[in-house]
A and B are shown apart, each in its own frame.
Chain A
Amino acid sequence: MTLAKRIIPCLDVAGGRVVKGVNFKDLKDAGDPVELAKKYGLEGADELTFLDISASVEERETTLEIVRKTAEQVFIPLTVGGGIRSAENVNELLRAGADKISINTAAIARPDLINEISDRFGNQVLVLSVDARRAQTKSGFEVTTHGGRQSAGLDALAWIGDAILRGVGEILLNSMDADGTKSGFDIEMLSAVRKISSVPVIASGGAGKISDFAEALTAGADAVLAASVFHFGELRISDVKNDLAKRGFPIRA
């Protein structure tokens, strides 16, 4: 009995459609978040993540509707992020069918938000999404906002440590240096975060080839999240899991 390492496809959603990293030749089906969620569920995804990248007030209801439809059809855990600013936002998403919520910028702006959500729903529903890059800070890594374009003025490891104490149950670590490069995860950053984190760590940013996944897990990741390699069909979830199984990692068959 060993806890399986998780493979998590991430869907960026706006206006009710998956908007990024999708093969637009197949817009009709590939762009529908519920259909993609179902497909990934069948292919062996261990969890799903929706990121509402529009994150506007007007689109809140659209996101809730996507969550409702997905939760009715896909019976694996669903994490939703984007535009969450209050414990009440979290409540709406959980009632719609989300299992976990990820927060990022709103927690940087107001760290007490972490305590408020965690006190009400428990730390197991709360994922801290951290967009980090290499910088001249104490740990050598800093937190960014605006998709990596701005420094948040926070040391990444110090921020993660603080957030865990406040009550996040999981860290989604996005490497802004590796993101989009398909040259592999930032292994050094992952190892550094693993050393100080008492909660599970999800590696994100840089997945390109199949062996990248094993490297992230060796560096201590509990789960790996990827978007474009799955959406473009470059890698299939089942192939990734087979590769990991061959290398001796515990995975869910």
Chain B
Amino acid sequence: MIAILDYGSGNLRSAQRAFEVASANVVVTRDAKTCSEASALIVPGVGAFAACMEQLTQVGGVEIIADRVAKERPIFGICVGMQILFQSSSEKKDTQGVGVLPGKVDELKAPILPHMGWNRVAPAHTSKLFKGVEDQSFYFVHSYAAKSCIPDATNTITNYGEDFLAAVEKDFVVATQFHPEKSGAAGAKLITNWVKTL
């Protein structure tokens, strides 16, 4: 069973359906026990970093994530759900993240923000996540991103105004700045690739 962490508002329905295509049992929940027992936990996120951290804290989500990290069990962060896994973000005000991944999240230096739409990525050849969809486009909608590669991880870079991390695969943690659940057939393939690793 895959659990999607429900810690506020946003479009969780698409995420649930997209992951159901690859895996039979996907639940949307904030129940700590269900999240702990799930074979994998998906951390979604929309809106501002600080607001997300606040909502996450309110439902005990920080502990839920920390529990899985301690047990080294699979986590998939999407969009702001990726960003909050880092140590901090400078969006609006400096805010601490969960700190599973090293580094911080800053505003992209680009003339037009948000970075909104379909962009290509440059996956490392070792990437399991992008196998078969290396040359495809994925749907991004964000103004902030992590810009430093993570040591001892498979880093996938893209560029909008400057280079930033489009995805990272590090041990049991996978995260994408884009929305695989909104990225059509390419996103579906990426999700299937990840589900196969569980």
- A contact set with B: CB distance below 8 Å: 1-6, 41, 46, 68, 71-73, 75-77, 91, 94-99, 120-125, 169-170, 197-200, 222-223, 252-253
- In this complex, what residue of A is CB-closest to B188? A75
B121 interface residue (CB < 8 Å to A): yes
8 A Cβ contacts from B96-147 to A? 111-122, 137, 139-143
Interface of B is mostly: mixed
8 Å CB contact of B118 from A3, A71, A98: A3
**15 pairs from A and B in contact (CB 8 Å cutoff):** A2-B120, A3-B115, A4-B118, A46-B118, A76-B183, A77-B139, A123-B114, A124-B141, A124-B143, A125-B46, A125-B47, A170-B114, A200-B114, A200-B116, A253-B137
Interface stretch of the complex, out of B8-16, B35-43, B57-65, B66-74 = B8-16
8 Å CB contact of B9 from A3, A97, A121: A121
Give the A-B pair count, Cβ closer than 8 A.
115
- B contact set with A: CB distance below 8 Å: 9-14, 17-18, 46-48, 51, 111-122, 137, 139-143, 158-160, 179, 181-184, 187-188
- In this complex, what residue of A is CB-closest to B111? A198
Interface of A is mostly: loop
B184/A41 in contact, CB under 8 A = yes
8 Å CB contact of B48 from A3, A6, A122, A252: A122
Chain A residues with CB under 8 Å of B182's CB are 75-77, 99
Chain B residues with CB under 8 Å of A96's CB are 13
- Given known contacts A120-B47, A121-B46, A122-B46, is B116 in contact with A99 (CB within 8 Å)? no
Chain B residues with CB under 8 Å of A198's CB are 111-113
Give 5 nearest A-B pairs by CB, closest first. A122-B47, A97-B13, A252-B118, A4-B118, A1-B159
8 Å CB contact of A6 from B9, B111, B118, B187: B118
- Given known contacts A96-B13, A198-B112, is B184 in contact with A4 (CB within 8 Å)? no
Chain B residues with CB under 8 Å of A3's CB are 115-119, 140, 160
8 Å CB contact of B112 from A41, A71, A121, A222: A222
